[in-house]
């Protein structure tokens, strides 16, 4: 510790953002989105300092750099915009700038009428030094400037003017003395993803319920025939539960009954039979050619397929016999099934991440991703990642993305916050959240603020329902609840999704009172859906998704700004992206009309004092004009219990609304 | 990145506190004070985990360890108490505990009436495994327990009873399987200081004004003769401005006039003359023997001497000629003096931390510390550390303390927060603060909260005045201001100090209106002080310091808890240490009597519902009894405008006050 390694690097760089655990994990960005970097940069004493942000793809040799600008109080900021997918690095370089210090001192001395003759000689020396760092052409100019500034026979005023001329200062700055510069001790990593990792609208469906002929099990071909239905609602990710052969041993029957009839289809997450495991396709759904056809047709509809990755095995999975060492065995010779004592899940064998053959297991699991990537899949929804070893994810996600940086993984972990955040740190590009259970204004506001604090590495996805989650609110709230919850999901979070058609058809019956499981859940049986039902919410979902597509403000997390309301059943928030501003108001009471006053934070809306506020309701196409921060709203659960406004403050009302 | 290094270490350790910049810098502790360590520790899935805190002196080989206990939500905590000065390290080790997992599962299964015969065989195996890790004696017991639990001929109930017996569980836990344990990636450093780094009461004086014969320049001997005066007020650190020879070139005269008369004594911070530099003693103060005598006499009075370290030179300092390379030179051959353009400080040459001979300079500066350490000094007040290179401090403080871990350094940096905090990170044990300029209830509260956020590495010292700082409040607030400000300093912060006798004699005349400099400042001239003045605040300071000494609550930062008052000129806060609770109320209006209601946070005071609150005013010796949270107070600037209560809630009022 006491070894003397004296250094002349006087600048200190600290409190750098974005930073995840001090650079231990990457922060996240979307390609083409600027990454804003800030740091405390300072030196001892009163000298002027300068600093630059350096950035590059991790695989590149050469840094690009951009000057940082002072925000005051030792804080500096700069941005860079990654233009390629993959891991990027940034670092910061700062130095005490003798020339800037000298110019600033000279200006003050001249103003105070102090003799600056010696100062001019010092400055001439600094300009001369810059010339030695310059290219030949600039060197000549700098040498001549140095001579002028240092010319003791010339009038002081002329020499000062030359020294302080913008051209002089700029030219010297081009060739600054960075020999004593400090480089930040850490290179901060940033993972750059496709935009779809940030902004995406998911639709989950069970193909086996999508038969065109009711009564038949649905196939990939049936889904392909109905892609227009999903695409026309404005979804862009079509997520399929596991498509692999389903085990028969301990197969579950309808409503999670412990034994199945021979023709019960089983749970898609009980993966593996003698037909194959995680790389095979359930024959009832079709062939690999059918799958490829669906995948390609989806693309034509503007949809990208997302597959489910559930790293667990049915007792019939080929791995159980081929790789017994990947499972834990009980003294009676049986394989240890999943359990959460006293509950047993005998249809599921967990993989043993403490196996002696961890290397073999990890490689095989990566192989599952590789297989489907080779089949053109780039989005994976990972089932229960929090029941698999964290070091595994920390290895496999970067390993997969090193070869395919366009891969996006959504973590399905409904568990404690530290665990969910750790999975995001390990590499998951998107994460399910507690949104489904945040219902009051206070809960939604607090939860959004929690997410804002981690938004540099944890990208939320808001789902009002999933095949496992039918909330009490949806069970009891009726049509208004389904509308309100989708509006909230789709406007609070840039990534959102639903499990349909249960959602648009307002499926709301639970397995039993107090349960969040669906009655006659598709997890256990085939359902028949009437997609043409006149009371379907499909048109409303379409309208909401259209608003998202038209408004950049809704395509990034923000974070949202919450505005006061005098009625706690009304929630009001806004988001903006550049000039684009969205203002959302939702009635959280699904049974009664609610009205009240909202008190808008006009500055957050970009509305100047005295400007009128033009509002275009993107759900109803109605237009409003508001004046000032206090405004009255009334929302009826019998109609559309939400406003999604595109908004613009405007001082010249005569121009009308035509900019909408 | 993609290299496969598969691991079975499933536990994750993160969000460890205390941690300064992710372990880049040490946190701080006082010897004998427990260090509370917390971390998020968790694994995938639902298995039971366990973790331990390991700690040792950095120089030691063997770790001590203590189990961490769960606080819920993945947070774990443990404490360790460093018993030697110097740098300590801690780390955390966590693992999935198969046996604990098994016991928890068994209990649930037994309760649910599930068949556990196979489970008992598994458990017997785990106990058997523990026996292989145990010492011979325990191994025998464990093997026999394993046999009992695994005995398939014995009744299940008996085997369950044996397995779940506390003795079995505790014995297995003594020999846990830690082969797959995760050790935290970082070893967090903690600097362990003497208590005086945390809790100390400083008195600053200029020896040259302490002559026993007025008119003569005071000497070390004069100070020695008056040590009783300082000690009896309850101070424990006697801090002397620089005691070195003072330069004559550009010497300043009274009231900072640019030229001095031949008999003006000069500024002590203009260090160095032909009599010597930073290791010499100003002859007017006495000899090195006089200094040693003062040092030893101070100890007998319970006082420790603190010296001022000001790394700058007068033009007459020997280094200027012996080491011209340590100074920057101007083109006219002169040495670059200190300046803050357009101001010049021609009596001061700064050292050039960009010198080519940084190694020589840094060594020489460390030599100054070494010299005075050899003279028995262990406390240094460092002048303007923020105008010297940060890397220098980051090297020199640990280097000095590696040899002398009892050294304490106080940073005199009144500058931007990031800079002040960085100096503390670099190693300063105590720091001056903005306290002098935080005057309103809101400012004091907010500032205290700012300090609480950094209190694991930044130890505040609160000074109501210094020779450079005579605040407007003290200039205009009269006697009440001097009392109130000392009470605030001495109760909000465990480290505090005053510059006397200017403080207790209420010196309040500024150099000119709008200035914070003293008129006839001792920095430039010798003053004569009448320590016996009947209106001296010495008795009041004595009372406050006595309260600090008697009450552990006032000896640590806390942080203070602020209680509501309905009059913003009344500030109310409490601190506690174990059973000891102090409650302080101060009138911030130095000109008017103020009264109002305080609304006590009874839980923060440790007062139970319905308990009476017994208060002992440590300044007036008056006793009060309060009932409930709302209480009326009235404080008069004409009297003592503050309460410093020792407090205890008590439900049996008949016992009276005798426990005070």
Tally of CB atoms within 10 A around A273: 23
Q: Is A519 exposed, middle or buried (0-12, 13-18, 19+ CB in 10 A)?
A: middle
Check: CB of residue B231 under 8 Å from CB of residue B191. Answer: no
pLDDT tens sequence across A190-205: 999 999 999 999 999 9
Strands A69-72 and A75-80: antiparallel
Pairing of strands B27-30, B188-193: parallel
Inter-chain residue contact A104 with B418, CB threshold 8 Å? no
Question: pLDDT digits over A561-577, tens only?
Answer: 999 999 999 999 999 99
- Stretch (H or E) spanning A651: none
Contact of A391 with chain B, judged by CB distance below 8 Å, is answered with yes
Q: Alpha helices, DSSP H only, in B181-239? A: 220-225, 227-232
Cβ distance B45 to A14 less than 8 Å, yes or no, reads no
Mean pLDDT along residues A610-633: 94
Q: Which two tokens stand for residue B108?
A: 């649930």
Beta strand pairing call for B200-204 and B495-499:
parallel
Over residues A537-552, mean pLDDT: 97
Mean model confidence pLDDT for chain A: 95
C-alpha span between B375 and B291 (Å, rounded) = 9
Res A215: pLDDT? 79
Give the model's pLDDT for residue A6: 87
Confidence of residue A31 (pLDDT cuts 50, 70, 90): very high
Q: Is A512 on the interface with B (CB under 8 A)?
A: no
CB-based contacts of B27, cutoff 8 Å, min separation 6: B18, B19, B20, B35, B188, B189, B190, B191, B456, B457
Residue A14 to residue B21, Cβ atoms within 8 A:
yes
Whether B170 contacts chain A with CB within 8 A: no
**How many other CB atoms are found less than 10 A from the CB of residue A330?**
13
Stated length of chain B: 660
**B332 contacts A24? CB cut-off 8 A:** no
Report d(CA A44, CA B244) in Å as an integer: 25
State the catalytic residues of A.
Answer: 383, 412
A362 touches chain B (CB under 8 A): yes
**Integer Cα distance of A639 and B450 in angstroms:** 49
* Structure tokens given for B105: 């599962």
Q: Which two tokens stand for residue A608?
A: 């100047």
Smallest CA–CA distance from A110 into chain B, residue: B342
B416 and A CB contact within 8 Å: yes
Domains of chain B from N-terminus onward: 11-97+181-192 (2.60.40.10), 99-174 (1.20.58.80), 197-312+358-382+390-554 (3.20.20.80), 561-651 (2.60.40.1180)
Q: What is the enclosing helix (H) or strand (E) of B636?
A: none
Residue B331: its chain A contacts at CB < 8 A? 118, 121-122, 125
B166 touches chain A (CB under 8 A): no
Tokens found for residue B121: 């065989």
β-pair partners for A381: A308, A410
Residue ranges of A 52-111 with Cβ closer than 8 A to chain B: 73-74, 87, 96, 104-106, 108-109, 111
Q: Which residues of A touch B398 (CB under 8 A)?
A: 1-2
CB–CB of B395 and A2 under 8 A? yes
Helix (H, G, I), strand (E, B) or coil at A173: helix
Smallest Cα distance from A97 to chain B, Å: 12
Spell out which residues of chain A touch residue B361, defining contact as CB-CB under 8 Å. Answer: 6
Interface of A with B in 311-340 (CB under 8 A): 330-332, 334, 339-340
Q: How far from the centroid of its chain's Cα atoms is residue A244's Cα?
A: 29
Q: How many CB atoms lie within 10 A of CB A136?
A: 6
Judging contacts by C-beta atoms under 8 Å, the chain B residues touching residue A1 are 87, 398-399, 402
Query: Is 60 exceeded by the pLDDT of residue A654?
Result: no
d(CA A629, CA A585): 14
Structure tokens, A556: 């990034």
Pairing of strands A349-350, A379-383: unpaired
Question: Quick one: tokens of A100?
Answer: 């800037």
Active site residue B412: yes
DSSP reduced 3-state for B217: coil
Q: A528: pLDDT confidence band, cut at 50, 70 and 90?
A: very high
Q: Is B602 on the interface with A (CB under 8 A)?
A: no
The three-state secondary structure class of A387 is helix
pLDDT recorded at residue B545: 98
β-pairing, A570-577 vs A11-17, is unpaired
Contact flag A21-B24 (C-beta cutoff 8 Å) = no
pTM (two decimals) = 0.94
Which candidate from A6, A118, A362 shows the least CB-CB separation from B4? A362
Q: Which of A8, A14, A403 sits opposite B353 (nearest CB)?
A: A8
For an interface test with A, the pick among B331, B407, B417 (most A C-beta atoms closer than 10 Å) comes out as: B331
Q: What pLDDT does A500 receive?
A: 95
Cβ–Cβ below 8 Å for B24 and A22: yes
Q: Say how far apart CA B548 and CA B409 lie, in whole Å.
A: 22
**A10 interfacial to chain B (CB closer than 8 Å):** yes
CA-closest candidate to residue B573, choices B509, B658, B456, B488? B488
CA distance A438 to chain B (A): 19
| pLDDT one-digit tens code per residue, A456-501 | 999 999 999 999 999 999 999 999 999 999 999 999 999 999 999 9
| pLDDT tens per residue across span A237-285 | 999 999 999 999 999 999 999 889 989 999 999 999 999 999 999 999 9
A121 vs B: CB within 8 A: yes
Chunk chain B into consecutive blocks of 10 residues (it has 660) and report each block's average pLDDT, rounded to whole numbers: 80 97 97 97 96 97 97 97 98 97 96 94 97 96 97 96 96 95 96 98 98 90 98 98 97 92 94 98 98 98 98 98 97 93 91 96 98 98 97 97 98 96 98 98 98 98 98 98 98 98 98 97 96 97 97 96 98 95 98 98 91 94 93 97 85 39
| pLDDT attached to residue B609 | 85
Condensed to tens digits (0 to 9), the pLDDT of residues A359-406 reads 999 999 999 999 999 999 999 999 999 999 999 999 999 999 999 999
Spell out the residues 6+ positions from residue B58 whose beta carbon is closer than 8 angstroms to its own: B86, B87, B88, B89, B189
Q: Which residues of A touch B12 (CB under 8 A)?
A: 390, 422
pLDDT recorded at residue B214: 80
pLDDT digits 0-9 by tens, B476-522: 999 999 999 999 999 999 999 999 999 999 999 999 999 999 999 99
| Shortest Cα distance, chain B CAs vs residue A114, angstroms | 7
Grade residue A650 by pLDDT with cuts at 50, 70 and 90: very low
Q: Is A166 on the interface with B (CB under 8 A)?
A: no
A395 in contact with B, Cβ within 8 Å: yes
In the prediction, which pLDDT does B2 show? 58
Chain B residues close to A43, C-beta within 8 Å: 390
The answer, yes or no, to whether residue A659 has pLDDT greater than 60, is: no
State residue B649's pLDDT score. Answer: 54
The residues pairing with A576 across neighbouring beta strands, listed in sequence order, are A581
> What pLDDT does residue A496 have?
98
Q: How many angstroms separate the CA atoms of A177 and A125, rounded?
A: 13
Distance between CA atoms of residues B515 and B511, nearest Å? 6
The arithmetic mean of pLDDT across residues A508-515, rounded, is 97
Touching check for A1 and chain B: CB below 8 Å? yes
Question: How far is it, in rounded angstroms, from Cα B602 to Cα B629?
Answer: 6
CB–CB of B410/B378 below 8 Å? no
Give which of A386, A258, A374 is closest to A310, Cα–Cα: A386
How many Å apart are CA B410 and CA A250, to the nearest integer? Answer: 71
Which member of A42, A108, A180 has the closest CB to residue B341? A108
ipTM: 0.93
pLDDT single digits (tens) A444-458: 999 999 999 999 999
Other Cβ atoms closer than 10 A to A6? 17
């Amino acid at each position: 510790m006491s070894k003397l390694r004296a250094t002349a690097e006087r600048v200190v760089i600290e409190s750098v953002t974005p930073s995840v655990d001090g650079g231990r994990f990457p922060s996240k960005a979307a390609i083409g989105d600027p990454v804003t970097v800030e740091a405390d940069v300072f030196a001892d004493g009163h000298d002027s300092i300068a600093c630059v942000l350096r950035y590059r793809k991790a695989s590149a040799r050469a840094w690009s750099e951009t000057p940082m600008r002072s925000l005051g109080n030792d804080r500096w900021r700069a941005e860079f915009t990654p233009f390629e997918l993959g891991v990027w690095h940034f670092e910061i370089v700062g130095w005490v700038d003798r020339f800037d210090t000298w110019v600033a001192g000279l200006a003050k001395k001249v103003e105070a009428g102090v003799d600056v003759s010696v100062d001019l000689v010092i400055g001439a020396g600094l300009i001369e030094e810059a010339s030695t760092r310059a290219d030949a052409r600039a060197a000549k100019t700098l040498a001549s400037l140095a001579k002028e500034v240092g010319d003791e026979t010339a009038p002081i005023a002329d020499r000062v003017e030359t020294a302080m001329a913008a051209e002089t200062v700029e030219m010297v700055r081009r060739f600054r003395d960075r020999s004593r510069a400090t480089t930040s001790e850490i290179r901060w990593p940033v993972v750059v993803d496709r935009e779809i990792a940030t902004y995406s609208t998911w639709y989950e469906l069970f193909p086996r319920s999508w038969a065109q002929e009711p009564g038949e099990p649905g196939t990939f071909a049936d889904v392909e025939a109905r892609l227009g239905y999903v695409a026309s609602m404005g979804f862009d990710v079509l997520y399929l539960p596991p498509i692999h052969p389903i085990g028969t041993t301990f197969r579950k029957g309808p409503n999670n009954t412990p034994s199945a009839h021979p023709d019960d289809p089983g749970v898609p997450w009980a993966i593996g039979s003698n037909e194959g495991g995680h790389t095979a396709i359930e024959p009832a759904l079709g062939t690999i050619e059918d799958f490829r056809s669906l995948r390609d047709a989806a693309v034509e509809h503007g949809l990208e397929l997302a597959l489910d990755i559930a790293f667990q095995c049915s007792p019939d999975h080929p791995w159980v016999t081929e790789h017994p060492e990947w499972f834990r065995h009980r003294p009676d010779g049986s394989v240890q099934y999943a359990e959460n004592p006293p509950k047993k899940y005998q249809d599921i064998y967990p993989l043993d991440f403490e196996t002696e053959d961890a290397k073999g297991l990890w490689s095989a699991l990566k192989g599952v991703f590789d297989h489907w990537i080779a089949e053109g899949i780039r989005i994976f929804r990972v089932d229960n990642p929090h029941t698999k070893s964290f070091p595994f994810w920390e290895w496999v996600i970067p390993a997969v993305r090193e070869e395919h940086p366009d891969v996006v993984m959504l973590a399905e972990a409904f568990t404690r916050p530290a665990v969910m955040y750790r999975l995001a740190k390990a590499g998951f590009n998107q994460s399910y959240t507690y949104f489904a259970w945040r219902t009051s204004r206070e809960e939604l506001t607090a939860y959004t603020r929690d997410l804002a604090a981690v938004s540099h590495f944890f990208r939320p996805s808001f789902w009002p329902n999933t095949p496992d989650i039918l909330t009490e609110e949806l069970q009891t709230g009726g049509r208004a609840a389904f509308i309100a919850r989708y509006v909230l999901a789709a406007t609070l979070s840039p990534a959102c999704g639903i499990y349909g058609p249960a959602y648009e058809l307002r499926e709301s019956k639970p397995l039993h009172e107090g349960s969040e499981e669906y009655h006659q859940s598709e997890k256990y049986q085939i359902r028949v859906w009437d997609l043409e039902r006149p009371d379907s919410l499909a048109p409303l979902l379409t309208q909401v998704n259209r608003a998202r597509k038209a408004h950049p403000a809704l395509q990034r997390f923000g974070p949202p700004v919450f505005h006061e309301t005098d009625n706690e059943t009304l929630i009001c928030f806004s988001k903006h992206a550049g000039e684009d501003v969205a203002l959302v108001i939702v009635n959280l009471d699904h049974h009664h009309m609610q009205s009240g006053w909202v008190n808008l934070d006009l500055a957050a809306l970009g509305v100047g004092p005295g400007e009128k506020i033009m509002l275009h309701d993107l759900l109803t196409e109605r237009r409003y004009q508001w004046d000032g921060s206090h405004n009255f709203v009334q929302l009826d659960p019998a109609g559309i219990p939400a406003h999604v406004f595109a908004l613009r403050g405007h001082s010249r009302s005569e121009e009308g609304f035509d900019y909408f």
